[in-house]
Amino acid sequence: MKIAHVAPLHESVPPRLYGGTERIVSYLTEELVELGHDVTLFASGDTRTSAKLVPCRERALRLDPSPLKSETAAHLSMLSEVRKRAQEFEIIHFHLSHFLHFSFFEHMHERTVTTPHGRLDYVDLAPAYERFPRFPMISVSRSQRAGLADANWLATIHHGLPTDLYPPVFAPSPGEPYLAFLGRMSRDKRPDRAIEIALRSGLKLKL
């Protein structure tokens, strides 16, 4: 199958440092290539992938030291390139939460799928989606849908990880047991909940 994946330009795929969405896009594209699909990845030029890479910006936005850069302009340029090549693919999978691609691909919405990897309760997202209600959507959790309850949801597909990435540990390792919080320090990620759990359990917490 000829598949295009369109990643955000904020981080490379996979990311050099932080970047949950781009890491998931990397896992997904690598596995699809391994399964024998013809995969094209639209992403930043510092991306490392087994898929066919279409570099849409020389460097990912977040680690680009340039003080003058435009996230909107960079993504618009990428979407123009995707649209120019759209007929090469059987399906185009967008991993964009800002929905900028909707106006570019309204004429072929049925050949697209969109996975927004972030929260959907921002006040401007629902009015934007209401203008393009036919776009098929994939949620990453059931609760994520609350912000766009009436969207054209096809399925919920939780983020997957390579099975050998974190081998399960069924017995505590030597030393003091602890809890771990892995994520961005922001209100979205709720480190306060991890702290509350640690306080209630009496276990040490590493953030």
Cross-strand pairs, 93: 5, 113
The tens digit of pLDDT for each residue in 82-96 reads 999 999 999 999 999
Phi, psi of 147 (to 5 degrees): -70, -25
Q: Tens digit of pLDDT for each residue in 139-187? A: 999 999 999 999 999 999 999 888 888 887 777 777 788 898 988 888 8
Question: Residue 189 CA to chain centroid, in angstroms?
Answer: 15
Asked whether the whole model's pTM tops 0.95, one would answer no
Give yes or no for a contact between 53 and 43, defined as CB atoms under 8 angstroms apart: yes
Reported for 72-80, long-range contacts at CB under 8 A and 24+ positions apart, including other chains, are 72/100, 74/9, 75/8, 75/9, 75/100, 76/100, 78/6, 78/9, 78/42, 79/6, 79/104, 80/104
DSSP class of residue 61 equals: T
Which run of H or E residues covers position 204? strand 204-206
pLDDT over 80 (residue 2): yes
Match 């393009």 to its residue by tokens. Answer: 132
- Count of alpha carbons within 13 Å of 62, Cβ hemisphere only? 12
Using CA atoms, how far residue 115 sits from 12, 48, 66, 129, 179, in Å, is: 18, 21, 29, 13, 30
> Which domains are assigned to the chain?
2-156 (3.40.50.2000), 169-207 (no CATH)
Give pLDDT tens digits for 41-91.
999 999 999 999 999 999 999 999 998 999 999 999 999 999 999 999 999
Residues in a beta bridge with 204 = 178
Beta carbons of 26 and 49 less than 8 angstroms apart: yes
Q: How far apart are CA 199 and CA 193, in angstroms?
A: 10
